[in-house]
């Protein structure tokens, strides 16, 4: 599989860009997915700082593959709020253009696809189109991360939204962990359906627990506490089900990564493979450099041990 191996910034949210980029280069990653948090939150980045980051990327010979942004949320916003999101998007477009990044994540709305109204869906399409057109002027892609609790929480809903937007620079990020939490399919047949739209694959792992006894368990709950810091979230109606998960090292959780990589091989995927593992100081997982090193080894192991499907 000829894909670009990328280090995502999730595990460095509490550190610095300098630390993140140095580790990525030292370990052997080809590219980095830069997060829109910390000093980059809301896109208020000076031209001087953008050029400094560009210099670091060039010096380390790292490709800035994607900006993982908390921008959009259009279905759940007022028009005034969506105007502000477009302005934020434009600020990030300036940053992306300076550092040479050709892809930016944009969220259509944290509302379940089977509960969104026609009016809210149409609003999300309209504002997403505005942002996609602005990105296209810079030769930048606007990508949607398939995510539980959003308009794009299944293959069907994701494809429907991309086709409704109808822009050639709009595509998808497959994140099996997010689909595992819906729960919905993320395997070979799903990947075949996603082939025309797929630009990026996020790689991490979690496992569902029986309860909340594990100290680092987190509740599903539409990610309201986490995502609510960045987007308005409309939680699922009448949802009284309690589900708990915890983070695991890649291929040590609930995701069948062999199934995923067999699917990617079958569609001859040549896009991005982006490590997006998560940990926090004090948890059972390592942090920062140690986690980035372990994830790189885990991904290389998967890529070298994948068994082709004899029925292809």
How many other β-carbons are positioned within 10 Å of the β-carbon of residue 14?
11
> Quick one: what percent of the chain has pLDDT higher than 70?
97
- Using one digit for the tens of pLDDT, what is the confidence trace for 81-118? 999 999 999 999 999 999 999 999 999 999 999 999 99
Residue 59 φ/ψ region, left for φ over 0, alpha for ψ in the -120 to 50 degree band, beta for the rest: alpha
- Using one digit for the tens of pLDDT, what is the confidence trace for 261-308? 999 999 999 999 999 998 877 788 999 999 999 999 999 999 998 865
Distance (Å, rounded) from C-alpha 312 to C-alpha 304? 19
Residue pair 99/53 in contact (Cβ under 8 Å)? The answer is yes
The per-residue pLDDT for 306 is 81
Helix (H, G, I), strand (E, B) or coil at 110: strand
Would you state the structure tokens that stand for residue 144, as one six-digit string?
């949607």
The per-residue pLDDT for 130 is 98
The per-residue pLDDT for 307 is 64
Residue pair 171/141 in contact (Cβ under 8 Å)? The answer is yes
**Average pLDDT of the chain to the nearest whole number:** 94
Angle between the 47-60 and 17-27 helix axes, to the nearest 10 degrees?
A: 20
Helix (H, G, I), strand (E, B) or coil at 43: helix
The per-residue pLDDT for 312 is 32
Residue pair 11/277 in contact (Cβ under 8 Å)? The answer is yes
Report CA dihedral (175, 180, 183, 189) to the nearest 10 degrees: 70
């Amino acid at each position: 599989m000829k894909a670009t191996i990328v280090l995502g910034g999730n595990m460095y949210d509490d550190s610095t860009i300098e630390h993140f980029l140095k580790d990525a280069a030292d370990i052997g990653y080809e590219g980095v997915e830069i997060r829109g948090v910390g000093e980059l939150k809301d896109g208020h980045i000076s031209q001087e700082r953008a050029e400094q980051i560009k210099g670091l990327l060039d010096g380390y010979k790292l490709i800035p593959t994607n900006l993982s942004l908390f921008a959009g949320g259009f279905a759940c916003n007022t028009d005034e709020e969506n105007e502000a999101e477009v302005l934020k998007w434009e600020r990030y477009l300036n940053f992306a253009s300076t550092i040479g990044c050709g892809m930016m994540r944009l969220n259509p709305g944290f509302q379940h696809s089977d509960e969104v109204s026609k009016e809210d869906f149409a609003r999300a399409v309209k504002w997403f189109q505005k942002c996609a057109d602005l990105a296209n002027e810079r030769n930048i892609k606007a990508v949607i991360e398939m995510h539980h609790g959003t308009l794009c929480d299944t293959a069907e809903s994701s494809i429907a939204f991309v086709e409704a937007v109808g822009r050639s620079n709009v595509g998808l990020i497959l994140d099996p962990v997010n689909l595992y939490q819906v729960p919905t399919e993320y395997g070979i047949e799903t990947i075949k359906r996603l082939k025309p739209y797929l630009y990026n694959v996020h790689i991490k792992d979690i496992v569902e627990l029986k309860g909340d006894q594990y100290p680092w368990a987190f509740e599903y709950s539409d990610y309201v506490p986490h995502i609510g810091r960045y987007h308005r979230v409309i939680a699922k109606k009448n949802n009284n089900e309690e589900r708990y998960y915890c983070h695991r090292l890649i291929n040590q959780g609930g995701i069948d990564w062999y199934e995923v990589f067999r699917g990617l091989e079958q569609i001859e995927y040549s896009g991005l493979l982006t490590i997006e593992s998560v940990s926090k100081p004090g948890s059972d997982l390592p942090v920062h450099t140690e986690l980035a090193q372990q994830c790189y080894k885990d991904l290389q192991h998967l890529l070298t041990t994948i068994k082709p499907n004899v029925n292809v």
